[in-house]
Amino acid sequence: MNVLLRDVKPIKALLACWVVACAAWLASCGKAPHQDEHYILVTNNKTLPYWQEANAGFADAVRQLGFGVKAEMVGPDTFSPNDELSAFNQAVAAHPSGILISPASTTIFQDPIKSAIKQGIPVICIDSDVPDSQRLMFIGTDNFRAGQQSGTRMAEALHGEGSVVVITVPGQYNLDERLRGVKEAFSRNPKIRIEQVIDDQGDPRKANDEISALLGKKAKMDGILCLEASGGPGAGEALHRLNLDGKIPIVAMDKDPETLDFIAGGTILASVAQKPYTMAFYGLQALDDLHHNVVHEFADWRSAPASPLPTLEDTGIGVVDKSNIQAYQDAAKGYTKQPGAM
């Protein structure tokens, strides 16, 4: 017994030293405890399934951070850049621990984001960017590449020849980048041309009305390419109502439930899907890193000559079609249904 005790005591001492060393290491490189931290996600059209998915990622990131952290998603229920700006200004006035924003306009948000940064509030853009706003990071889709993928999928469906109607919201930076990517893809298919660009203002009803009007006039339309989430359901409904399912290929954007249902039913050929859950999940983690100043390239991000975070983080895309529709539909069942406080 004495021999065993002599063997155990040094082991206990070594274990104690190891525990103390690990604790010291964690204390030196870990974050301070979370205390009364408040993060805000500002969006446009916040009732859209796209933003409900983002809200689910936001909520999961909060749960990962644990006690002492709360977050909420704010913004208008319809596409309204000015109302979104009001929501952003109210968020800044609350002086939260950090703000994620998907700006609907590059022009009207540039100075307000700069002002928030000057006040010491970290701001990260997700989904849509304002590059000259001094935002600390952009997390989202490489929209030019997403547009290239959309254009390539449409060119394949049309076998390299035809007239395409594009549904978008002109003037929104991320969507303009997608259109640029589409045009680049079409430049490799000279027999494909963009017949018309429709502004649906982020409203599927307007997309439905515009496509219905073109069909009524028997306008030239061999394919419909949608660069934002509302266009697909709107165009799909217009074709479905006239029993034209699958007659005119639709390449949609994103993966809201109506779009997925139309893919399953054959009305929509495919959709280029972004990852709003991922954008919001990692966006909140990056804000928390800034709030706790854990990236030590500079003494403090507030006085640093450049953001210590990566400038751009591409969350990638996926293409949804009949071959993988079930997996996307199953995933959508877990999204948060009602936006708001968490």
Q: Are 230 and 209 in contact (CB under 8 A)?
A: no
At 173, the pLDDT band (50, 70, 90 cuts) reads confident
Regarding the domain delimited by 37-141+275-316, which CATH topology (the fold level of the hierarchy) does it fall under?
Rossmann fold (3.40.50)
Task: Give the DSSP letter string of 164-175.
Answer: EEEEE-TT-HHH
Domain boundaries, the chain: 37-141+275-316, 143-273
- Report field, pTM of the whole predicted structure over 0.85: no
Q: How far apart are CA 30 and CA 294, in angstroms?
A: 8
Q: Are 282 and 314 in contact (CB under 8 A)?
A: no
- pLDDT for residue 291: 93
269 pLDDT above the threshold of 80: yes
- The SS3 call for residue 315 is coil
Return the CATH superfamily for domain 143-273.
Response regulator (3.40.50.2300)
At 49, the pLDDT band (50, 70, 90 cuts) reads confident
Q: Answer whether 37-141+275-316 and 143-273 agree in fold.
A: yes
Taking Cα atoms as reference points, which of 145, 146, 155 lies closest to residue 269?
A: 155
**DSSP β-ladder status, 318-320 and 270-273:** antiparallel
Q: What percent of the chain has pLDDT over 90?
A: 74
23 pLDDT above the threshold of 60: no
Structure tokens at 65: 């951070």
31 pLDDT above the threshold of 80: no
10 pLDDT above the threshold of 90: no
- The SS3 call for residue 321 is coil
Residue 251 parent element (H or E): strand 250-253
- The tally of CA atoms less than 13 A away on the side-chain side of residue 325 is 18
Q: How far apart are CA 329 and CA 332, in angstroms?
A: 5
User: How many Cβ atoms sit within 10 Å of the Cβ of residue 66?
Assistant: 9
13 pLDDT above the threshold of 60: no
- pLDDT for residue 32: 59
